[in-house]
Amino acid sequence: MCVSSKARRFIVLLAVSLGFLACSSSTAHGNNSLTGGASSIDAAGTGPYMLTIQLFAYDPPNIDVPAGETLWVVNKDVEPHSVTSESKTDDYTLGAVNGVQFDTGNINANARLEITLPVTAPPGTVVPYYCKLHKAQMPQGTVTIQ
Ligand SMILES: [Cu+2]
């Protein structure tokens, strides 16, 4: 009697942890930390323009985003990262191109943050970006205004 109740509790706990693992390994929903604009995201906590950071790399490294749109950045690494604009590649300091500048600050593990590009950003503008925390240790990328 006592043993079977313990066994049942173990099975329940196992099922709960498996459910948790399945959940956290997919898209880490329920664990995103948003800095605002949460109402503008869809049910999955994403948008049409997504940048994923994984294994110290940006995916895709080069992305086109229309002026005025929001770029979502998800960090799937354990280490924090940032998406920080620079005036030219290899500059590794916060900078702007054609007045377009952005900096997510530190994005912690499994967190997502948004970058909203100015409506006035001139189409065709190519803004290089880097990670403030890892600089040359990580490949850089670009955001091109559509
Ligand atoms: Cu980094």
Q: Do residue 19 and residue 53 come from a single domain?
A: no
Q: How many domains does the chain have?
A: 2
Which pTM does this prediction carry? 0.70
Q: Do residue 3 and residue 47 come from a single domain?
A: no
CATH of the domain at 89: 2.60.40.420
In the reported structure, the alpha carbon of residue 134 is separated from the centroid of ligand 1 by a whole-number distance in angstroms of 4
List the single range of 26-40, 63-77, 104-118 with lowest mean pLDDT. Answer: 26-40
pLDDT in tens, 122-138: 999 999 999 999 999 99
In the reported structure, the alpha carbon of residue 76 is separated from the centroid of ligand 1 by a whole-number distance in angstroms of 11
pLDDT in tens, 90-111: 999 999 999 999 999 999 999 9
In the reported structure, the alpha carbon of residue 4 is separated from the centroid of ligand 1 by a whole-number distance in angstroms of 49
Output the 3-class SS for the chain. Answer: CHHHHHHHHHHHHHHHHHHHHHHHHHCCCCCCCCCCCHHHCCCCCCCCCEEEEECCEEECCEEEECCCCEEEEEECCCCCECCEECCCCCCCCCCCECCECCECCCECCCCEEEEECCCCCCCCCEEEEECCCCHHHCCCEEEEEC
pLDDT at 40 > cutoff 50: no
In the reported structure, the alpha carbon of residue 106 is separated from the centroid of ligand 1 by a whole-number distance in angstroms of 9
Q: Of the candidates 62, 42, 17, 37, which has an alpha carbon nearest to the alpha carbon of residue 115?
A: 37
Instruction: Give the Å distances, CA to CA, from 15 to 9, 11, 12.
Output: 10, 6, 5
Q: Do residue 53 and residue 72 come from a single domain?
A: yes
Domain span at residue 19 reads 1-31
Residues making up the chain, counted from first to last? 146
In the reported structure, the alpha carbon of residue 118 is separated from the centroid of ligand 1 by a whole-number distance in angstroms of 24
